[in-house]
Amino acid sequence: MNSTVPDVVGANEQSDVELDVLRWIRLARLVLQAERAAKDETLGLIFIDEATMTDLNVRYLDGDGPTDVLAFPLGDESLTTGRFPDEGGRGPGSPRVVPEMPAILGDVLICPTVAQKQANERSRSLEDEIALLVVHGTLHLLGYDHGNPDEASRMQKREQELLDKFSQNESSL
């Protein structure tokens, strides 16, 4: 992990849509930097198939069918060190100082096949749709929401600003 910027770990766990995962990692990292996320935070960006997305949507959000993006924040849950069950000492031979654990912000899960359907319905490219979903999910992990009109407006405005910034960065490469 690079200690000067928040880290993003990406995984493509689906095979239905070809993706440039590194491009989307760069976008998520740009969002984290623009939002001044802590330098030691890590975000997981995972692309999954419709069956997995459907299962997660039903299980955790009481949804019906697949959705485009889910964000699972891990929050400030403290990670304990020590042994189970008593969480006592670290055991013989363990260092005295416990290494500091990285802060895990959470995971953004995106379903590219749902994104493709939405892109077709909205007459835009798959890349534009996935870019929006990466930004949207990452902002959710950073505390943005769209539960009321004011929050939705604030989130949409920030999404567009970040998408514009990413587009400018990409065109300068």
**CATH number for the domain that contains residue 50:** 3.40.390.30
Q: Tens of pLDDT along 99-128? A: 565 678 999 999 999 999 999 999 999 999
Classify 7 in phi/psi space as left (phi over 0), alpha (psi -120 to 50) or beta: beta
What is the distance in angstroms between the CA of the first residue and the CA of the last residue of the chain? 23
Q: Are 12 and 47 in contact (CB under 8 A)?
A: yes
Q: Do the domain assignments include residue 93?
A: no
Domain that holds residue 53: 7-79+102-171
Model pLDDT for residues 11-30, shown as the tens digit of each residue: 999 999 999 999 999 999 99
- Cα–Cα distance for residue pair 132/171, rounded to 1 Å: 17
Quote the DSSP letter at residue 148: S
Domain count, the chain: 1
